[in-house]
Amino acid sequence: MEIEQKLEILRKIGTKSLIQKLHECETELEKVMQDQADFTSQSYEYTASRGSECSKVKEKIAELSFQAPETNEAGKKTTVAEREAWLLGQRKLDKELSDALAQQQVVAFLQDDHQIKVEMAKRRLEGIKAVIALKTQQIAFLAGG
């Protein structure tokens, strides 16, 4: 391969634009990660752990558990199962509890959305790094041969 051909190929590689794109992807990743951290910080009361309720819902359920009826319709002391059934019904009947449950669902959805944005930004960054690695190998090949 002639030196002129190699120089022409090297000019067309476009390393400056790749480096600019790399910086853009890094900046985007930092931004979406910061957005995710800010959202998590702002909505911590409605963040549920796996298989559990958020602290706001737990707090409201604890308040309601003290309001559960002591006796059933037959005048007998309520069983644990009856108290649990009453509390379960309160999820729809008690406005504060149902609002907290709805907000918990919204927060969970938005957390997933933030996580998807972070993963996509990471993949774009990895893609640009792979292209840069390929271009580096092309430059090394052209310079060596």
Confidence of residue 115 (pLDDT cuts 50, 70, 90): very high
Is 53 within 8 Å of 104 (Cβ atoms)? yes
Into how many domains does the chain fold?
A: 1
Closest CA to 110 of 43, 34, 31: 43
Domain range holding 72? Answer: 3-144
Prediction pTM value: 0.77
pLDDT of residue 145: 58
Residue 7 has pLDDT above 90, yes or no: no
Number of C-beta neighbours around residue 94 at 10 A: 18
Number of C-beta neighbours around residue 128 at 10 A: 19
